[in-house]
């Protein structure tokens, strides 16, 4: 092989490996959003726990706070699951990029492994979306929207 062929092979390998990078960009954005949700869940739980520890909460209100803490624990579990799946997805996509690049430049027969790695990453991403949807629906269900007065006029 001459230099031009090697350069062409490397260029094609980079082009193949760049496509999954777009999925990595989506994953990183989602990790940021989900991590923000986790921070809000933790802040709310700490607030409720501190109020309960102070002991100046009436029993009916304390029972509601404990119920909210249970719901926050469930939401936290969903968000942590989502983050774990997103992290695993990112690792699999990164592994796919390496495999695609090596497969093209080193002429290794690893296309099947790269395909399985990529599809596994997509499955993790979809599972993370399901966790995110479930957590969002749970958070919305927990909201108690007050009846707004009807507009007069």
Output the CA–CA distances (angstroms, integers) from residue 43 to 36, 49, 64, 108, in the order listed: 11, 10, 17, 50
pLDDT tens over the chain, length 153 residues: 555 556 776 676 666 667 788 889 999 999 999 999 999 999 999 999 999 998 888 888 989 999 999 999 999 999 999 999 999 999 999 999 888 878 777 777 788 898 899 999 999 999 999 999 999 999 988 776 555 566 665
Q: Report the predicted TM-score, pTM, of the whole model to 2 decimal places.
A: 0.79
Give the per-residue pLDDT at 12.
66
- 38 and 75 in contact (C-beta within 8 Å)? no
> What number of other Cβ atoms are within 10 A of residue 61's Cβ?
12
> What number of other Cβ atoms are within 10 A of residue 90's Cβ?
19
Q: Please choose, from the candidates 84, 96, 91, the residue with its C-alpha nearest in 3D space to the C-alpha of residue 20.
A: 96
CA distance 51 to 136: 25
Give the per-residue pLDDT at 8.
74
């Amino acid at each position: 092989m001459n230099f031009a062929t090697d350069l062409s092979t490397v260029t094609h390998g980079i082009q193949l490996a760049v496509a999954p990078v777009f999925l990595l960009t989506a994953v990183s954005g989602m990790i940021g959003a989900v991590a923000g949700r986790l921070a809000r869940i933790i802040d709310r739980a700490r607030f409720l726990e501190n109020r309960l520890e102070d002991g100046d909460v009436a029993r009916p209100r304390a029972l509601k706070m404990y119920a909210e803490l249970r719901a926050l624990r469930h939401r936290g579990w969903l968000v942590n699951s989502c983050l774990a799946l997103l992290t695993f997805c990112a690792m699999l996509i990164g592994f796919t990029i390496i495999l695609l690049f090596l497969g093209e430049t080193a002429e290794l027969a690893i296309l099947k492994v790269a395909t399985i790695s990529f599809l596994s990453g997509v499955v993790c991403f979809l599972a993370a979306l399901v966790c995110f949807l479930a957590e969002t629906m749970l958070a919305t269900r927990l909201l108690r929207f007050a009846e707004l007065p009807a507009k007069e006029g």
